[in-house]
Chain A
Amino acid sequence: MKAKRTLRIARWETARSFGSVDRKTAVILLAIVLLLAALAPALVAVNPTPGADLYRVGVSDSHPYHDVVSQDRRLQAVDPRTSSLEEGTIDVLVTQSRVVVTETEKSQAAAGVLRESIVAYNDRLMARETDQAAAFPVTVTLSYAEQTNLVDYTGDTGQQSADGETDDSGSELGTTTDTAALQTTKTSPSGDQQTPTPTDGATDSSRTSSQESISGTETAGDSKETDTPGATTVSGGYSGRNTDDGPLSGLFGSGQAGTPSGITPPFPLESLLLAFAFLLPFNFVIQAYGSSVIAERINRRGEPLLVAPVSRGDIIIGKALPYFVGSLGITAGIAFVLGGSVRSIVAIAPIAALFIAATFVAGMLSRSYKELTFSTVTISVVLTGYAFLPAVFAEVHPIAAISPLTIVVNDLQGASVGVGTFVLGTLPATLSAGVLLALGAGLYREEDLFTRRPLPAKALDALAAPLRSRFRVGLWTALFIPFVLVAELMAVAALFVLPVSLSIPLLLAVLAIVEEVAKSLHIYAGYRRGRFKTDRSNAIVLGISSGVGFFLAEKILGITQLVGLPNLDIGRAAFGPDILGLSTIGLLFAPLLLHSVTAAISALGARESRNRYFIGLIFAALIHLAYNLVVVSSLG
């Protein structure tokens, strides 16, 4: 592989992509882009609410709640005289004295929204009071602290707080106390009531509105409707002040100060937005890249390139490079807009590479454009799901850390990222991208490029192609470890909601299956493609090679310890025993023995037929599961 040739192919790919667009296509694309550009500000102005008018509230015009209902976009006000709860034409009925609901989930949810809405309405009402101390008689400073004995907590912070030095107590607890918190506690005791003066109110509304645009539905439309003086402080002049160093700050659990209703529990769903912002453009990039890969394969168009004096690596890397660089450029732009640093870009790069590598494999495997479309959508969905992990587990930092997006979140917050976190977040994705590229490269040859064979057959080709020696079997098992890691972490993520008594056995079963498949699938592929001698002793040697490769690579997995993943009950079940069990020689070699034996069993099945392989695999997985159960119960 030569850098010069790779670059030449990259230039050629770029030139061809732009050069081949005819005028008609260019006009169409330009028109669509202009349409999108015009649409964005219009959408921002309209600010659509997905949950608009979802619940119907029967409330008479004269009732004080009528105002509340008509100001909340999620609620429809319906005349109670023409509708009834029994017929289901309303979900909640407001009578003079109380709120009537039915047993249905919808009715209960509607009552919940109505209650929330009334609380918000009261806060807006109270924000207009001159005596803010009576209107908001409770102020809160919320901070987060680790529950460890290592914190030497001494000193009476109650006293310090009165002196306006809450930030000291905050840093003692190892938390970040923002400037807003400092402001609040400083001024309040001195009797300055923080009444929303016009100037103060103006800055507040700009702050709160940036918050609302993210937290969504409830008060977004209200600012227009309540245009009474002073009411510019939409969610109660005094509530929910977060630090304002980025549009997403404060959403991931930094300290807060304000009134009780201004407290927002760390709500992970917001980082979905972040994932979308970064990942959406990749969908377009991989569409273009996938098309370029598969177009080579139609009508033998790629043949001249194949016979040109360049290596496969040159062609593959060269063709992918422009798309990768383009992805990085887009990422840099988004990071710049969101206020991220170079760290964000470096963290996203492996995801971009993974998108492109997976698309390369999909492009090599697909028989038609249709199939490629399905494959690329699958890639987008699965990889986006992988990146979403921090969204679901924003609070469970150890698990969230495997997604590069966690680094981005931390970066946007201005928090520091440890080396361990950075490695754990980026390494699996980087390695997976590399392995996928290598697998796809195995297919970059005439007999696979220009034929339309079924997907599973080609997948076997790809797996079998690099198995040139028995040593390579172990090597490839080791290379599959990142996928195993990702699959296992996804399983941990999916199962951790269940009670421990159920989740741990289930998880152990999933782990056994995933690991056994990773150790044997390529051996099976090798046998089907006639790469190995079919005698029994050779199968055992292949199994041992695979088992040793797995064992060694799993030891490298020790990096999960750097971020404290084994501290989590379920995390310990998945990754603990092997790592924690290093104390005795027996426990060091037990997993080695296990991995070799089970892989040999699968290999013995694989050498005969597909059905025998499945039987061998199931048998191996059962042994593995039994071993896991013993280890987990004995290590407690």
Chain B
Amino acid sequence: MDRRLRLAVRELASLRSEKTIILAIVIQLFIAAFSSFLVVGLVSLSDPGSTAGSYDITIGISGEASEELQRIVETGDAMEPVVFDDRGAAMTAFADRRVDAVIHTKASDDGRIHADAVAPDGDFRTTLIVTQLKSALSEIEREKRAALTHRLERTPLTVPEQSDSSPYFGFTYTVLIPVLVFLPAFISGSIASDSIAEELERGTFELLRVAPLSVPDIIDGKSLTMVAIAPAQAGTWLFLLALDGTKIVHPGAILALVTGLTGLLVVLGAALALTIEKRREAQLSFSLLSLGLFGATFLLPENLSNLVAKLAIGSPTVVSAVTLVGTIVVAGTGYWFVRNRLSARIGP
């Protein structure tokens, strides 16, 4: 068996015996559960369509533009109008919880309508109610604007029909998937640094050195496990999301990116541990440096988080392909460079 492989197996065994990898999975499960709960919660709170009519809201209407508003609210999705003679009556109904919100309108001489809207405070339906109020008022704005085009120099564009989209559809792709695929890469880098720092501090690194292993061999062996477990975790997440009905269009490309990135982070972690030789300082440098490097990728024409989102949702561009290949090449070269450079400094 290859000596490097043997070291890699040893690393894996130590992870397994400590069962810490289970903690890592728990962490990610927590994040995933929390985020998907966040998405489900937000959608049901703010998207009238997704609640399947369970949260129809009643809007109390009073004032001069009541007729138009009543017609618009009637045709709107998941809302019902109730017309009142004056605002006081509407507000009494609001206080009695007979209506969920109140719009009082008043016309002014210039053709403008002033709407005074009241929504309940501190209720979990508030977001939904305000969204509905906004949609009704936007509709009346469009109608009034169309009626006043003779006073305008520019013509507003026609607004297409509302689609049944969830406003948080993108959240899964732009936030959740990038977090879930990048987090294992950072953890891997961090434990690679730990693994070497601990061998140095406990004095067992010398034992490794007297074994027939060169420094690049040690780095390779230690890195192999860490690099392997990151795409394995990321892949599991993509698989689970796919089971859950989230379509991932280019999982292979995402995993290739994660592998490359992990390789770079792991070798950086190892290099910092070998240079600094103390866990605390090495960890601190590693977290700051990896944060900085990741931040720096946001200066690219296409940042990595966005790249993952595009690959997952299936909208990659030519720039995406270039960024993907470029990142993997840079990460691979970086790994090779740091690995050889270190052996030159520390000795074979």
Contacts and interface: CB of A to CB of B under 8 A. Distances in A.
Interface residues of A, number: 134
A130 B110 CA distance: 13
Nearest to B153: A129
Interface in B299-333: 299, 302-303, 305-306, 309-310, 313-315, 317
Interface in A366-409: 367-375, 377-378, 381-382, 385, 388, 392-393, 395-397
B14 A370 contact: yes
B109 to A, nearest CB: 7
B92 A25 contact: no
Contact of B134 (A128, A153, A265, A374): A265
A145 B23 contact: no
B114 A131 contact: no
A141 interface: yes
Contact of B140 (A119, A138, A396): A138
Q: Which of B20, B121, B126, B279 neighbours the largest number of chain A CB atoms within 10 Å of its CB?
A: B121
B292 A105 contact: no
B138 to A, nearest CB: 4
B160 A111 contact: yes
Contact of B34 (A49, A385, A496): A385
Nearest to B167: A112
B47 to A, nearest CB: 10
Interface residues of B, number: 130
B120 A36 contact: no
Contacts of A99: 160-161
B346 to A, nearest CB: 14
A158 B27 CA distance: 54
A133 interface: yes
A147 B198 contact: no
A55 B315 contact: yes
Contact of B272 (A28, A55, A128, A189): A28
B159 A118 contact: yes
A110 B315 CA distance: 11
Interface in A357-373: 367-373
B112 interface: yes
B174 A51 contact: yes
Interface string A289-302: 00110110011000
Given A141-B116, A396-B124, A162 B106 contact: yes
A76 interface: yes
Interface string B127-165: 110110110011011001101110111101101111111
Given A35-B292, A137-B111, A185-B114, A48 B163 contact: no
Given A108-B164, A119-B138, A370 B15 contact: yes
Contacts of B106: 158, 161-162
Contacts of B108: 188-189
B313 A54 contact: yes
B314 A106 contact: yes
Contact of B305 (A50, A137, A288): A50
A157 interface: yes
A374 B20 contact: yes
A28 B275 contact: yes
Contacts of A373: 187, 190-191, 194, 283
B88 A154 contact: yes
B208 interface: no
Interface in A537-569: none
Given A46-B298, A147-B123, A395-B124, A54 B114 contact: no
A427 to B, nearest CB: 22
A43 B145 contact: no
Given A129-B152, A143-B117, A395-B122, A137 B279 contact: no
Nearest to A129: B152
Given A35-B292, A134-B151, A291-B283, 18 more contacts: A28-B275, A50-B175, A50-B309, A51-B173, A115-B161, A134-B111, A142-B130, A156-B86, A157-B104, A189-B114, A283-B287, A367-B18, A368-B14, A371-B18, A373-B187, A374-B187, A385-B34, A396-B124
The 9 lowest CB-CB distance pairs between A and B, nearest first, are A291-B280, A112-B165, A369-B194, A137-B144, A260-B137, A134-B151, A144-B121, A265-B130, A109-B169
17 contacts: A25-B276, A32-B288, A53-B317, A105-B165, A106-B247, A110-B165, A112-B166, A134-B145, A136-B141, A137-B111, A143-B117, A147-B97, A157-B88, A157-B104, A173-B91, A370-B15, A371-B18
Interface of A: 17, 20-21, 24-25, 28-29, 32-33, 35-36, 39, 42-43, 46, 48-56, 64-65, 68, 74, 76, 88, 91, 98-99, 101, 105-106, 108-115, 118-119, 121-122, 125-126, 128-131, 133-149, 151, 153-158, 161-162, 166, 169, 173-175, 185, 188-189, 191, 193, 253, 259-261, 263, 265-269, 283-284, 287-288, 291-292, 294-295, 298-299, 367-375, 377-378, 381-382, 385, 388, 392-393, 395-397, 455, 494, 496-497
